[in-house]
Amino acid sequence: MGARHIPCMKYTLYAIDGAYFSCPLGITGSGPYQLCKLNDICSLGGMIDGTHYTQWWRFFSPILIHAGVVHLILNLSTQVQAGFQLEKDMGWWRMAMVYIISGAGGFLYAACMSDVIVPSVGASGSLYGLIACLFLDLFQNWTLIKRPWIELLKMVLNMLLSLAIGLLPGVDNNAHVGGFIYGILAGILFMPKIYYSKWDKRVKYFFTILSVPLLVIITYLLANQFYFSSTTDFCQACNYFNCIPQIMPWCNQKIPNTKLTIYNSYGEQISNMVRQRYFVGYNQTIPVI
C-alpha cells in the first residue's frame, strides 16, 4: 500500500482485461483460488480507462514507508546523524525540499532500472540526498575546516561502505545512486551560500542557475524512459551499482527470477512472459514481465 510498485504507476501486462495473477506477500486476492486482479493492489485511485493505473504519487509515498522496524531504525539513525546539523544550517524548508526531491528522484531513477514486479519502499534515496549536501557543505567551507582532506576521506569511505552494503540482497542501490544525484543538484539550488569573493559569488550563482535546467532535463529523460520505454537495459553498466554478478552469487536474488504468470477466471495459465536483462559482459535470462 503506497510502495513504488510499477504496475500501479503505468500500463503493464497486469492490465490485461480479465487477467488474474499470484498475489504479492500480505495481500489476499479477490479472484478465484485467491488470485489477484490489479485493483486488489492498486486500490487508491488513479485508474485510466478502467484498465490501468497512473499513480504517480508512488514516487513520493514510499519515502514514508519502511519494510519493518529494523529498516525504520536504520534510516532514522542515519537521518539524525546526517540531518541534525544540516537542518540547523539550512532551515527546515530547504532541507525538506532536498529530502523530498532526492527521495522521489531516487525512486524514479530506480524505477527505470528495476524489474516491474518488485515493489520498493524506504527513505534511503532521501538520506543519500542529505549525504550529498554534506559533501557540498564540506566543499563550500573547505578553507574554514581544519584538515578538510581527512574529513573528505572519512565521508567517502563511509559512503563506499554504505554502497557496499547496498550490494547485498534486498537492498536497491539504484535508489541510493539516484537520490545522491538529485541531492547534489537540489543541494546546489537550496543550500545557503557563503561568498568569499566576487568571483566565488559568480561561480556559485552560475551553478545555482544551472542546477534548475539540469533537474528538469534529468527528470524529463528518466520519466520518458519510465513511461514510454519497455526496457530497463538503457544503462547496462549502471547494474553494477546494484550487484556485481561475476563475484556475487546472489545477483539472481537481487533481480528476482519471478515469472509473471497470468491466469483466466478458471485458474488456467494464459500467459508467461520472459525477457532478457544484460549486464556488461554478463548475460542472464530473467523471467519477469
pLDDT digits (tens, 9 = 90+) for 92-115: 999 999 999 999 999 999 888 876
* Predicted local confidence at residue 186, as pLDDT: 97
For the chain, what is the largest distance between any 2 Cα atoms, rounded to a whole number of angstroms? 74
Q: Identify whether residues 79 and 176 lie together within a single domain.
A: yes
Structural domain contains residue 183: yes
Active-site choice (120, 176, 229, 230): 176
Q: Identify whether residues 157 and 264 lie together within a single domain.
A: no
Active-site choice (102, 114, 120, 124): 124
Residue 289 has pLDDT above 50, yes or no: no
Give the tens place of pLDDT for each residue, 31-55.
666 677 777 777 766 666 556 678 8
Q: Are 40 and 33 in contact (CB under 8 A)?
A: no
Number of H helices, E strands in the chain: 8, 7
First to last CA, the chain: 21
Indicate the burial class of 44 (C-beta count within 10 angstroms; 0-12, 13-18, 19 or more): middle
Q: Identify whether residues 214 and 109 lie together within a single domain.
A: yes
Structural domain contains residue 1: no
High-pLDDT (> 70) share of the chain, %: 73
* Predicted local confidence at residue 272, as pLDDT: 45
Structural domain contains residue 148: yes
Cell numbers 561502505: residue? 161
Report how many domains make up the chain: 2
Strand order in the sheet with 260-263: 20-21, 260-263, 269-273
pLDDT band at 252 (very low <50, low <70, confident <90, very high): low
pLDDT band at 286 (very low <50, low <70, confident <90, very high): very low
In order, the DSSP letters of 44-78 are SS-EETTTEE--GGGGTGGGG--SSHHHHHHHHHH
Tally Cβ neighbours within 10 Å of residue 5.
Answer: 23
Structural domain contains residue 241: no
pLDDT band at 251 (very low <50, low <70, confident <90, very high): confident
Residue 212 has pLDDT above 60, yes or no: yes
Structural domain contains residue 243: no
Q: What element of type H or E holds 270? A: strand 269-273
* Predicted local confidence at residue 281, as pLDDT: 29
120 is catalytic: no
176 is catalytic: yes
Residue 259 has pLDDT above 60, yes or no: no
Which residues span the domain enclosing 126? Answer: 65-236
Residue 187 has pLDDT above 90, yes or no: yes
Structural domain contains residue 115: yes
